[in-house]
Amino acid sequence: MSTLFISDLHLNANEPELIKLAVDFLKTKAIDCKKLYILGDLFNIWLGDDLIAEEFMPVIEQLQLLHQQGIRTYLMVGNRDFMMGKEVANLMGAELLGDACVIDLYGTKTLLLHGDTLCTDDIAYQRYRRWSRNKLLQWLFRHMPLKYRQGLANKIKLKSRQQKQTKSTVIMDVNASEVSRVMTKFDVTQLIHGHTHRPATHTLEISGKSATRIVLGDWHSEASYLQCGEKQQQLVDPRISN
Ligand code: LP5
Ligand code: MN
């Protein structure tokens, strides 16, 4: 029985085909696994657990079904859906993870992250991240009427879109020293993350030991996932030839 990892589906109500792709993946692929890890940005935007779009219900129901079948689902938030909380996780039958999580993946100590915290060269993003993760601000946001939440989210999205045009692809990728630092700190030889939308398996060296960094891909017209088993692991993405 395998363990599956996905991230960056960016589900949104305006893309029913993407929602269908996610439902099909859960129905046909995830149903055979032991554990499913969702490493952030399942949703393109999340304005609070009290505002669950009707369009997302097929995905949530499918996750509930997996839970009933005894498949354990773990949910990490990303930079777009970080307002997800315990309520929606419970509804999905999933366990909400913190920003960094260490697991034993078939004998390999593995660190799981969304990946945005590794982009330390993106100073403007990291500054924005600090204030948007402030618990008091989040509490205030949660208690605002939908109209205001939507308005603030639109302002952030617009600023982000404008600023991204001025940032180089290097700035928006992970910082190699930060990768080494966190892998050393958590004493792991394997890291799995998403966020950068650059699916790949990188080999590196951590404290003289050979290590691996696996980057999950974002979803478009096909599913992108990492499948790990006792003996092998495979990153499945249309951009990668296996
Ligand atoms: O998401 P992606 O890949 O396109 O870009 C990310 C970074 N951008 C973001 C922003 C999200 O896209 C939109 C999030 C909406 C959240 C809604 C909930 C709000 C809750 C608030 C609770 C207090 O994450 C982008 C990175 C890129 O990844 C690569 O890593 O570069 O970061 C940016 O571009 C951020 C900008 O540099 C800084 C934005 C400052 C926004 C300030 C708005 C102030 C409005 C104040 C109004 C009173
Ligand atoms: Mn992301």
Residue 188 vs residues 110, 138, 175, 215: alpha-carbon distances, Å: 6, 32, 17, 16
Does ligand 1 have an atom closer than 6 angstroms to the CB of 171?
no
Task: Summarize pLDDT for 141-182 with one digit per residue, the tens.
Answer: 999 999 999 999 999 999 999 999 999 999 999 999 999 999
Residue whose CB lies within 8 A of the most ligand 1 atoms, among 116, 123, 125, for a mutation test: 125
Site of tokens 């045009």: 165
233: closest CA among 37, 43, 63, 42?
37
242: pLDDT strictly greater than 80: no
65: pLDDT strictly greater than 80: yes
Q: Give the domain ranges of the chain.
A: 3-236
Task: Summarize pLDDT for 178-220 with one digit per residue, the tens.
Answer: 999 999 999 999 999 999 999 999 999 999 999 999 999 999 9
Proximal ligand: closest to the CA of 174: 1
Cα 129 to the chain's mean position, in Å? Answer: 15
d(CA 11, CA 120): 26
Does ligand 1 have an atom closer than 6 angstroms to the CB of 143?
no
112: pLDDT strictly greater than 90: yes
Q: Which CATH class is domain 3-236?
A: alpha beta
101: pLDDT strictly greater than 90: yes
Proximal ligand: closest to the CA of 80: 1
**Residue closest by Cα to atom 5 of ligand 1:** 160
Residue whose CB lies within 8 A of the most ligand 1 atoms, among 79, 122, 137, for a mutation test: 79
Quote the ligand 2 centre to 208 CA distance (angstroms): 30
Whole-structure pTM over 0.85, yes or no?
yes
- Whether residue 238 contacts residue 215, with contact meaning beta carbons closer than 8 Å, is answered with no
- Which of ligand 1's atoms lies nearest the C-alpha of 197? 3
Dihedral Cα 143, 149, 155, 161, nearest 10 deg: 110
Calculate mean pLDDT across residues 71-77.
98
Does ligand 1 have an atom closer than 6 angstroms to the CB of 156?
yes
